[in-house]
A and B are shown apart, each in its own frame.
Chain A
Amino acid sequence: MTLRALDRAEELLTATLLAAMTLLTFIQVVLRDLFESGLVWGLEATVYMFGWLVLLGISGVVRTDGHIAVDILTKHLGPSARKAAALLATGLCLLYTGLMLAASWTLVARLQAFGSLAHDLPLPRWVLLLSLPIGFALLGLRLIQATVGIVRGTRPVSGHGHTPTGLDTERQ
């Protein structure tokens, strides 16, 4: 299935980004403290990699339903009311995603029109910031997937919250 392939690609890419930005920062420290030199573009590259990491990762967390939510109210509702609340919540999440996607698109389009370049990296800024529209588009895709799941009843609308899953345990 293509969505499954997308999951794997997201995981592979974000894990690589994390490893790369960690190593890059570490190398910068070594270069500076031991050899009194450094990579001019190091920090900027790390920042943009961080951007890609976070934005590509957001949708993965929706997929595994790991985002932190407060569920003191909805857990007292009946099943159909709970389903309605879940649909309303997902609809509002889609509204947010749509607005942020539009905002990201506007920013990227503006930067491309101005042709502004990054400080130290030899790349235009709009390319580096493509993480924003792509990340929000993927988030939208996952939310639509979640909506379909709630309507069909294949996705549980309660029970994540603060259950001690592997995810929660490493959250601070």
Chain B
Amino acid sequence: MTPVFLIGALLVFLALRMPVAIALGLSSVLTLWLFGEQTLLSLAQTFFRAMEVYPLLAVPFFIMAATFLTSGGVARRLSDFAIALTGRLRGGLAMASVLACALFAAVSGSSPATVVAIGSITIAGMVGAGYRREYAAGVVTSAGTLAILIPPSIVIVVYGAITETSVRSLFMAGIVPGLVLTALMMAAIPVFAGRDGLPAQTLAVSWREIVRAGQSAFWGLLLIVIVLGGIYGGVFTPTEAAAVSAVYAVVVAVFVYRDIGVRQIPEVLVRSVRVTTMLMFIVANAYLFAFVLTTEQIPQGISASVLALDLAPWEFLMLLNLILLVAGTLMDPTSVVLILAPIVFPIATELGIDPVHLGIIFVVNLEIGLVTPPVGLNLFVASAVSGLPVTSVIRASVPWLVLLLGFLVLVTYIPWISLALPGLMLS
């Protein structure tokens, strides 16, 4: 009865268009009130725990870094560097967009931020060079999803916190799949260009120009080294890396590239605060939700009935993927992780699925959720950036969706892709 009430209330509240955070919180509070024996006091404590969990401190810092990097010129310089690298190839500009998204993903953990930062530069560039606008928008919409897979990633931080899995291992596990997906997307550029083909014109980029573009993008590229090198080298924790990259982003945007004036800093900070509180309010309420799940032993119940089905791990993973794909079309990635990870995690562990591998499966499903209607954030952001109607962006993203689904199958059934690097570096 309790799980039915909890989930039922949650769905009704969501359908009423209540904020996801309050829908989660109220369904949990009411369940505890009606069925549980918890005191009011423990609710406030549980809510506040979201701010006390050490890995989650990375969230405001990564958001702040992303906001400064998006507003500053780092994205433009990374794009220029990517264009210099691939300009000689046919379809080079589109490949450069994918590469620029991957590079930006390695400094920022937010997918829509990546679409804005890179898309606002490369879409216009591609259209100017003779690509169809729809095609250009499709490329960036999909490549932008790399941001939640390639570390740092806010979705991964949240998954690590709620399932108590090492964020460091999860970050490492995202690297190889991220590189594979980047390569697949670049390879797909000529394939997906279709009958219209790619513009024949290529850029004659000299080595000197590549070096010069690399130098100009140096401060952005250095951040990748600092963040990833620092985390893997054990110099600092992911949370500390986030704070370092936030300070670094401010310094580079304000003092090195001078794209943001000192007087604009408060404005960018206020924007970061908005995004942070919106996200953390959901996370804090998800802690209430997880608390109800635990005290009412709901995952154990669901786990028992799923295990009673006697599914093979591969069947379970297929079922999980279907559930995550549906959830991903309806909610933003963080909400899906916060609601489903506490329920799914115990079952998956029981079936012998590695927690880190499970995390990457979640992330790749949610990448697909970012480009599928009705709630695919990247679609709306790309529509705003490209000036195309959302329906055109949706249509342009369909081939990429197929690619992502194929990639999901690979990641789901070949754990090695995710687990090889963490295994190698932690042994």
* Contact across chains for A69 and B19 when beta carbons are under 8 A apart: yes
* Contact across chains for B17 and A70 when beta carbons are under 8 A apart: yes
Question: Does B377 reach chain A (CB closer than 8 Å)?
Answer: yes
Chain A positions within 8 Å of B22 at CB level:
67, 92-93, 96
Question: Does A150 reach chain B (CB closer than 8 Å)?
Answer: no
Q: Which residue of B lies closest to A67 (CB)?
A: B19
* Contact across chains for A15 and B273 when beta carbons are under 8 A apart: yes
* Contact across chains for B335 and A85 when beta carbons are under 8 A apart: no
Question: Does B169 reach chain A (CB closer than 8 Å)?
Answer: no
Question: Does B331 reach chain A (CB closer than 8 Å)?
Answer: yes
Question: Does B15 reach chain A (CB closer than 8 Å)?
Answer: yes
Interface residue count on the A side (C-beta < 8 Å): 65
Chain B positions within 8 Å of A147 at CB level:
none
Chain A positions within 8 Å of B236 at CB level:
29, 33
- In Å, the complex CA distance between A167 and B271 comes to 8
- In Å, the complex CA distance between A15 and B236 comes to 25
* Contact across chains for A172 and B279 when beta carbons are under 8 A apart: yes
- In Å, the complex CA distance between A28 and B375 comes to 40
- In Å, the complex CA distance between A96 and B44 comes to 12
- In Å, the complex CA distance between A100 and B22 comes to 11
- In Å, the complex CA distance between A11 and B375 comes to 29
* Contact across chains for B40 and A70 when beta carbons are under 8 A apart: no
Question: Does B296 reach chain A (CB closer than 8 Å)?
Answer: no
Question: Does B122 reach chain A (CB closer than 8 Å)?
Answer: no
Q: B377 contacts which of A51, A89, A171 (Cβ < 8 Å)?
A: A171
Residues 256-291 of chain B: 1 if any A CB is under 8 Å from the residue's CB, otherwise 0? 000000000010011111111111111010000000
Query: A residues bordering B, Cβ < 8 Å?
Result: 11-12, 14-15, 18-19, 21-23, 25-26, 28-29, 33, 43, 46-47, 50-51, 53-54, 57-58, 60-62, 64, 66-74, 85-86, 88-89, 92-93, 95-96, 99-100, 102-104, 106-107, 110, 129, 132, 161-164, 166-172
Q: Other than the known A73-B16, A89-B18, what 18 A-B pairs have Cβ atoms closer than 8 Å?
A: A21-B57, A22-B247, A26-B244, A26-B246, A46-B57, A47-B51, A53-B276, A54-B276, A67-B20, A68-B19, A99-B43, A106-B40, A132-B44, A164-B380, A172-B109, A172-B111, A172-B112, A172-B147
Query: B residues bordering A, Cβ < 8 Å?
Result: 13-22, 25-26, 29, 33, 39-41, 43-45, 47-48, 50-52, 54, 57, 60-61, 63-64, 66-67, 70, 109-113, 115-116, 147-148, 154-155, 235-236, 239-240, 243-244, 246-247, 266, 269-282, 284, 330-335, 374-375, 377, 380-381, 383-384
Q: What are 8 inter-chain pairs, A to B, with CB distance below 8 A?
A: A29-B244, A74-B17, A107-B45, A132-B44, A169-B113, A169-B384, A170-B110, A171-B112
A-B complex: 6 closest residue pairs judged by Cβ atoms? A57-B277, A67-B19, A164-B384, A25-B243, A172-B110, A15-B269
